[in-house]
Amino acid sequence: MRRASMIWLLATVLAASALAGPRLEVEPTIYRFGEVTEGGVVRAVFVLTNAGDAPLVFPRQPHTSCGCTSAPLPKEELAPGESMELVVFFDSTGFGGRKITRKVDLFSNDPRAPKRVLILEGYVREARPHEGSASTLYYGFYLLVDLRPPAEYDRAHLLGAINIPLGALERWIGRLPRNIPIYLYDATGEGALEAARILRENGFVAARAIAGGLAGWREEVGDAFLVRVDAAAAPPRGTPRYGQRTVSARRVARAYQVVVDLRPADEYAAGHIPGAVNVAPDDLPGWLAALPGPDEGGRLYVWLVDADGALACGLAARLRAEGYADVYCLVGGIGQWEIRYGDLLWAEGTG
């Protein structure tokens, strides 16, 4: 009996000492992401828990094995029993055709293991010709803004342009992105020159008026990429106005880009890439066939976007086979854009 009591007491002491102080538990310790297409960003979630009876402190940010991986800690201390998620991002750009193992060193004041090693592993598949990453789409991305009244915009406008009447522009200054090119146009270029000046004065260094407005556009590249909702609408009238720090119609037409969002209307309305056109998948072939073609020297790049990339990439492959050489899909869907450029998602009513 006495011996049993001693064993019980020893076990109790050992259990108590195991809980004494901070103790880090991690779930999982190895994150297997399976297969990802090159250019996609892997988002791995590790749950960190303080299973001890004293505060668990992380004295420094985690160390990653390469610049392709980031692991920002959301807070520096966990109370006893508290948990948090550590989200690790791995950018697969440049790793196509390789099996990947990436390590994250996590430091804490847990006396039993002051450094824990977390691991991400999986395979990066090489991207196919029609597959593009969010960073590739962003590289050529620009925002096209039509400054005319809504009635004029509704009759005819450049493909993918959003409508912000000139009088409403200042109300958009807090919403427009400052780190991408913004091309502005009106009927003749006069209002666009003023709008570009206003934006540049407010920190939009890449804001440019399209030289000559729609009148100048038609003089230079004809009806290229001009969508006429009203077939009977008269062409823009007026004398083109030109100024400094503009962008020519031909330069824009040379690498014209439009994003086609294939998701249901409610998902599109909840958040989409600015300027994206919402088209149902079944309507896509007819929509493409009806597009205004480029002039000589112009080129249209079409990016298909859906929730996860599956439908968009299947359609892009099919359209490529049918002769649409510059159709791409966004690998991983809208979620990949959100991971990289979350501030460039607009809800309906804001762009």
Pairing of strands 63-64, 98-107: antiparallel
Can you tell me the distance from the alpha carbon of 163 to that of 143, in angstroms, rounded to the nearest whole number? 11
Distance of CA 49 to the CA centre of its chain: 31
Residues 43/78, Cβ–Cβ less than 8 Å: no
Residue 63 shares a structural domain with residue 207: no
- Is residue 16 domain-resident? no
- Is residue 179 domain-resident? yes
Residue written as token pair 């690998």: 331
Residue 45 shares a structural domain with residue 83: yes
Question: Per-residue confidence at 243, pLDDT binned at 50, 70, 90?
Answer: confident
Residue 36 shares a structural domain with residue 158: no
**pLDDT value of residue 349:** 58
Can you tell me the distance from the alpha carbon of 284 to that of 261, in angstroms, rounded to the nearest whole number? 10
Q: What is the pLDDT of residues 184-236, one digit of tens each?
A: 999 999 999 999 999 999 999 999 999 999 999 999 998 889 887 666 666 66
Q: Where are the alpha helices (DSSP H) in 98-224?
A: 134-139, 150-155, 190-201, 213-221
141 closest CA partner among 33, 303, 272: 303
Average pLDDT, the chain: 90
**pLDDT value of residue 15:** 45
Residue 54 shares a structural domain with residue 181: no
Residue 154 shares a structural domain with residue 293: yes
Pairing of strands 300-305, 256-261: parallel
**pLDDT value of residue 343:** 83
Helix (H) or strand (E) holding 209: strand 207-210
- Residues across the chain: 351
**pLDDT value of residue 308:** 95
Beta bridge partners of residue 42, listed in sequence order = 90
Residue 270 shares a structural domain with residue 227: yes
The CATH number given to whatever domain includes residue 279 is: 3.40.250.10
Residue 147 shares a structural domain with residue 294: yes
Residue 226 shares a structural domain with residue 102: no
Residue 308 shares a structural domain with residue 159: yes
Angle subtended at Cα 53 by Cα 49 and Cα 59, rounded to the nearest 5 degrees: 60
Question: Per-residue confidence at 63, pLDDT binned at 50, 70, 90?
Answer: very high
306 closest CA partner among 283, 276, 286: 276
- Is residue 13 domain-resident? no
**pLDDT value of residue 41:** 96
- Is residue 11 domain-resident? no
Residues 172/162, Cβ–Cβ less than 8 Å: no
- Is residue 5 domain-resident? no
Residue 192 shares a structural domain with residue 295: yes
**Residue where one domain finishes, among candidates 95, 127, 159:** 127
Can you tell me the distance from the alpha carbon of 106 to that of 88, in angstroms, rounded to the nearest whole number? 12
Question: For residue 50, what are the CA distances in angstroms to 54, 60, 102, 265, 347?
Answer: 8, 17, 24, 44, 38
Query: From the DSSP assignment, how many helices (H) and strands (E) are in the chain?
Result: 10, 22
pLDDT at 6 over 60: no
**Residue where one domain finishes, among candidates 74, 98, 127:** 127
**Residue where one domain finishes, among candidates 99, 127, 155:** 127
Structural domain tally of the chain?
2
pLDDT at 7 over 70: no
Quick one: what percent of the chain has pLDDT higher than 90?
Answer: 76
- Is residue 10 domain-resident? no
**pLDDT value of residue 250:** 93
Q: What is the pLDDT of residues 106-129, one digit of tens each?
A: 999 999 999 999 999 999 999 999
Residue 229 shares a structural domain with residue 336: yes
The CATH number given to whatever domain includes residue 31 is: 2.60.40.10
Owning domain of residue 112: 21-127
Residue 176 shares a structural domain with residue 242: yes
